[in-house]
Structure 1
Amino acid sequence: MTGQVRIGIGGWVYEPWRGSFYPAGLRQKDELAYVGAHLTATEVNATYYSSQKPATFANWAKAVPDGFQFALKASRYCTNRKVLAEAGGSIAKFTGQGIAELGDRLGPILWQFMPTKRFDPDDFGAFLELLPDAVDGIRLRHALEVRHESFKDPAFFDMAKEAGAAVVLADHEDYPALTGHNVGFAYLRLMRTQTQEPTGYAPTDIDHWAKRAVDLSEKGDVYGFFISGAKERNPAAAQAMIAALA
């Protein structure tokens, strides 16, 4: 079965988008609804820095249309630690804060690790065993963004596959571009948008990533986010890729 391709940006609150992506005069409280009407996903960074209330997740879900999904970046307290095997309490706090209120609007959980975090097979394997399959009846899907060259190890890819976790494919000038096994969904983070390009990426590069997403969708859902880089261009890049996919 062919999966669905969802394309988006990071969050929805960013001053330079007002008057460029967002129409002049749009109320800030209506910006998420505008993202929901023009893109198909967003990656939430706020959950990385602090917990949210269940009502907040419920309100986010109400603001967007059917089919739109939120990828949530897991708390930094889960991943930015020396011993990952000791993250159980932080993981439980993160998954138990009310994310299930998103219902079918909940996309993958992004577990992002520091560029200095090296691959320790025993410790990383213990961390993966801590990741829950579901919370409050809502199935969870996990994506791992690792940024150190030591993760170019067959043992890492095997344990990610065994855990059913996707390995994030990052398009970045410094981080390794890792391609994991098929686990039923794929996660792309595209971080090379440039100010001089009206659509962030050159049209040929947009087409390249659109084709890559289509190929990956033959094996499951695909999530693609234009993140960082020339952030002011990210909405235009996402819209260009959605148009290319159409």
Structure 2
Amino acid sequence: MAGRVRIGTSGWVYPPWRGRFYPTGLAHRRELEYLSSKVNSVEINGSFYALQRPSSYQAWHEQTPDDFVFAVKGGRFITHMKRLRDVDAPLANFFASGVLALGEKLGPLLWQLPPTLAFDADLLDAFFDLLPRTTTAAAELAGRHDERLEGRAWTVTDADRPLRHALEVRHQSFTDPAFLDVLRAHGIGLVVADAAAEWPYLEHVTADFAYVRLHGSTELYTSGYTGEALDEWAGRLRGWTEQGVDAYAYFDNDAKVKAPGDAISLANRLDLAW
């Protein structure tokens, strides 16, 4: 069977989008609703900066169509401050913050490493062993949250579903072929990051899905994608899905309001309709 394609943006709360992508006068609380009528997925990036609340995840679930999917970015406290070490409690807190309230709309979990963190196979092995692979396991992990989540934790799942995890790297040492072996051994997806040559470009499928982050073709977070570039990305995504691999692609070139238009243009090239 062919895989499924999900295309969207990294985040949706951007003041410069208002009046340019979002219609003038659109209530801020309806921006996700509007975006979800144009794309079929979005990457939640507020979860990277701080633990969100269950009520927020519930609201996002309700504001989007039935077939919509969210990717959720793991917290920088885990990846950038703790640098993947001693993260048992932080992981429990992250999953207790409301992630599971997305229910059937919960897609892959994204873990973005800082550019100063080099490849360490043992460190990755240990971290990947901690990651829950089902929503039931995630709920059990969430139940071990610490006092910071008392009174605001979500520790249940409405069904037992598989969980996918993807890793984005930014240090040149990850070009080591042994890195791909670690990902494949744990079933972790490699993020294909198009970042204007700022970070290593690695294009490998290491799990049963592909995950692409489009940060800008020539200038990080700023430049848009030409029609030719979008044609090329459409070809890559189509090729993966023809091999039975699900594909997720998120545009992070939001600084000059390029992301939503590029996402819609890519979806059109793949004849996606919803």
For Structure 1 versus Structure 2, the TM-score category normalised by the shorter chain is: over 0.9
Q: Secondary structure at the match of 2:125?
A: helix
Query: 1:83 Cα deviation (Å)?
Result: 5.3
SS in 2 for 1:43: strand
Structure 2 distance, partners of 1:150, 1:89, is: 28
Q: Give the Cα separation in 2 of the matches to 1:66 and 1:116.
A: 39
1:96-175 to 2 correspondence within 5 Å?
96-134=96-134, 135=138, 136=157, 137-172=160-195, 173-175=197-199
> Which deviations, in whole Å up to 9, do the C-alpha atoms of 1:125-173 show, x marking residues without a partner?
1111111112233421100001111111222111111111100000112
Counterpart position of 2:207: 183
| Whole-Å separation in 1 of the counterparts to 2:251 and 2:2 | 23
Query: Do the aligned residues in 1 keep the contact of 2:190 with 2:206 (CA within 8 Å)?
Result: no
2:13 matched residue in structure 1 = 13
Corresponding residue SS for 1:191: strand
Contact 1:143 1:168 in 2 (8 A): yes
User: Cα RMSD over matched residues?
Assistant: 1.7
Cα displacement (A) at 1:181: 3.5
Report how many residues are paired: 243
Unaligned runs of 5+ in 2: 139-156
Show the counterpart of 1:69. 69
Residues 84-115 of structure 1 show CA distances to partners (whole Å, capped at 9, x for unaligned) of: 24122211211222211111111111000001
User: What is the deviation of 1:121?
Assistant: 1.3
Which sections of structure 1, spanning at least 5 residues, go unmatched? none
Q: Does 1:241 align with 2:266?
A: yes
Does the CA contact (< 8 Å) of 2:188 and 2:206 recur in 1?
no
Q: Which runs of 4+ in 1 moved over 6 A?
A: none
Q: 1:217 to 1:231 in 2, by over 3 A?
A: farther
TM-score, L = length of structure 2: 0.84
Aligned residue in 1 for 2:144: none
Distance in 2 between residues matched to 1:229 and 1:235, nearest whole Å:
8
Point out the more displaced range, 106-115 or 75-84.
75-84
Structure 1 length as normaliser, TM-score?
0.93
| AA partner of residue 3 (structure 1) | G
| Secondary structure of residue in 2 paired with 1:178 | coil
